[in-house]
Structure 1
Amino acid sequence: MKPAFNKILKKEIPQILPLVQRHMENQFSDEVLIERFNEMFDQNYECFGIYSEEKLIGVFGLWFMTRHYAGRSCEPDHIFIEEAYRNKGIGKKLFDFIYNYALEKGCETSELNSYVSNYRSHKFYLNEGYVIKGYHFIKNL
């Protein structure tokens, strides 16, 4: 299977909401997510759909920033692939795309966060050469 990774435009946010909602287990309303995505699109963020023969089967975002400890970096975010399309090599192709895209944009590193309970992703990321450097903390204000 040869997936396509196509950029999602700000006006296309509603197309990705069902996938993001499933990924996040419907923690927030569509209205809250639309508001947040609109703001994200105005920052150093890009969104992509994962397609199989024109069908949207996944979504992911990329953040671009410069960090004192990592240089120019690309951070993959909210990666979701429909269950029926998992374990078919799409993740490997996706990350090859991300690395090449990040290099084209001048990135030196890639870093990401993964939910503590998402053990399958941990194995995948470790196999991709990521190393665990720390913990990600969050506090509601």
Structure 2
Amino acid sequence: MGYISELFNEEEVTHAFEVIKQLRTHLTKDQYLDLVTDSIKDDGYRMFGMYEGSEIVAVLAFQPMTTLYYGRYIWITDLVVDEAWRSKDYGARLLSYIETWAEEQGYDCIALSSDLKKERAHQFYTDKMDYDKVSYVFKKSL
């Protein structure tokens, strides 16, 4: 049932846009590529894709971070499964893969935020993946 691979080059990152845009609907392909390129270069941003054949069916992206609150941790910035492939365990498999990767790399934990309206996603994280709700994330647009 599929395989997971890190997305390294522009072709692979571009291929993931069709899935990412289902989560990040406000981004054009050019904006997406600019942001990903800058984040890889400046922030250690990494992307992994879940494949079925040559098709990317799920994408997970993260940034390694260090804070006084979490210590050394992985901040998941994006996790999305293509609509046509949802409810087939791809999200769980991809997240579990990253959890194992992070543990092997010596990270203390994984953290993420999720839109307040995405109750199914919250259930996925808390009930299926055993994540704790520990805070609210606040934002102010400038």
Q: Confirm or deny a common fold (TM above 0.5).
A: yes
Deviation at 1:124, TM superposition (A): 0.8
Task: Look up the match of 2:122.
Answer: 122
Q: How many pairs does the alignment contain?
A: 139
Unaligned runs of 5+ in 2: none
Residue deviations 1:13-40 (CA, integer Å, cap 9, x gap): 2211222112222x12222211111111
Deviation at 1:114, TM superposition (A): 0.5
Unaligned runs of 5+ in 1: none
Q: Matches of residues 63-78 of structure 1 in structure 2 within 5 Å?
A: 63-78=63-78
Task: Look up the match of 1:7.
Answer: 6
- Matches of 1:87 and 1:107 in 2, distance apart? 29
Identity of aligned residues (%): 23
Q: Counterpart of 1:59 in structure 2: which amino acid? A: V
SS of equivalent to 2:21: helix
Task: Look up the match of 1:47.
Answer: 47
CA RMSD of aligned residues (A): 1.4
- Matches of 1:120 and 1:3 in 2, distance apart? 24
1:76–1:112 CA contact under 8 A, matched in 2: yes
Task: Look up the match of 1:110.
Answer: 110
SS of equivalent to 1:103: helix
1:19–1:59 CA contact under 8 A, matched in 2: yes
Task: Look up the match of 1:59.
Answer: 59
Deviation at 1:119, TM superposition (A): 0.8
Q: Counterpart of 2:137 in structure 1: which amino acid? A: H
- Matches of 2:100 and 2:3 in 1, distance apart? 14
- Matches of 2:15 and 2:109 in 1, distance apart? 30
- Matches of 1:98 and 1:72 in 2, distance apart? 15
TM-score with structure 2 length normalisation?
0.89
- Matches of 2:140 and 2:27 in 1, distance apart? 17
Which segments of structure 1 move beyond 6 Å, counting only runs of 4 or more? none
Deviation at 1:91, TM superposition (A): 2.2
